[in-house]
Amino acid sequence: DVVMTQSPLSLPVTLGQPASISCRSSQSLVHSDGNTYLNWFQQRPGQSPRRLIYQVSNRDSGVPDRFSGSGSGTDFTLRFSKVEAEDVGVYYCLQGTQWPWTFGQGTKVEIK
Amino acid sequence: EAQLLESGGGLVQPGGSLRLSCAASGFTFSSSAMSWVRQAPGKGLEWVSVIYRGGSSPLYADSVKGRFIMSTDSSKNTLYLQMNSLRGEDTAIYYCVKGKTAWGQGTLVTVSS
């Protein structure tokens, strides 16, 4: 199975400041079709997960542009340009290139 | 807008069985990939199973393979998860997911004596 490793696991942030989360995979996430199926999800307290980013850098509909994704191969990053209070929650990367699809451990974002 | 409503969770003894249902609306159920994802209390996410449309067989995580069976009824727009030989480590909130974008609110399964 592809192992997804996130860092940090806890991210205290200051409102209005930038922040980032790293996600590394144990093998390349480039699919045989040429696409890279790396997703980012947000789970706010008490809510179901919500996808923010698909195929490394594409924002889902309705996702604020302060969220951005980047990376390639085995190394990926989710960036917040300016953290807002509603961004508190746990963020997960998910690889959908190879079954079984696997999540990272999650990064808990909290306000300092 | 896609809506997913899970039901069927509850308390079951180890070794027992339970069937979860997911009622879908707001999209073409018969042509959508559907999944079950679970989350143990206070823990991370695990993608349990997925079914692509067009007659393909479901895929299962190794942790549930041979014990869980995923199925669909397109006449009822409903997704099912038959869970057999349940273990304590199956205790989790089970989410029904359309593609990767639409998630239900989840149903809690507790396996305990």
CA B46/CA B63 separation, integer angstroms: 10
- What's at B49, amino acid-wise? S
Interface touch A39/B100, C-beta < 8 Å? yes
Q: Evaluate if residue B19 carries a pLDDT over 70.
A: yes
pLDDT in tens, A17-66: 999 999 999 999 999 999 999 999 999 999 999 999 999 999 999 999 99
pLDDT value of position B53: 79
pLDDT in tens, B51-102: 987 667 899 999 999 999 999 999 999 999 999 999 999 999 999 999 999 9
Token pair belonging to A96: 């959908």
In this prediction, residue A81 has a pLDDT band, given cuts at 50, 70 and 90, of very high
> Residue A71, by phi and psi: left (phi above 0), alpha (psi -120 to 50) or beta?
left
CB pairs under 8 A between A and B: 41
Q: Evaluate if residue B40 carries a pLDDT over 90.
A: yes
Q: What percent of chain B has pLDDT over 90?
A: 92
A77 touches chain B (CB under 8 A): no
Whole-number average pLDDT of chain B: 95
Report the residue from B47, B59, B95 with minimal CB separation from A48: B95
* Dihedral of alpha carbons A20, B93, B26, A55, sign: positive
pLDDT value of position B98: 96
Report the residue from B46, B47, B103 with minimal CB separation from A48: B103
| Contacts of residue B2, Cβ cutoff 8 Å, sequence gap at least 6 | B24, B25, B26, B27, B98, B101, B102
A37 touches chain B (CB under 8 A): no
A 90-109 residues with CB < 8 A to B: 92, 94, 96, 99-106
Q: What share of chain B is helix, strand, coil (3-state, %, to 5)?
A: 5, 50, 45
Contact list, B59 vs chain A (CB under 8 Å): 99-100
3-state class of B4 per DSSP? strand
Q: Evaluate if residue A92 carries a pLDDT over 70.
A: yes
**Through-space distance between the first and last CA atoms of chain B, rounded to whole angstroms:** 40
CA A86/CA A89 separation, integer angstroms: 8
CA A75/CA A5 separation, integer angstroms: 10
Query: Residues of A36-71 as b/e, b for ≥16 C-beta within 10 angstroms?
Result: bbbbbbbbeeeebbbbbbbebbebbeebeeebbbeb
Interface touch B44/A106, C-beta < 8 Å? yes
3-state class of B89 per DSSP? helix
pLDDT value of position B56: 79
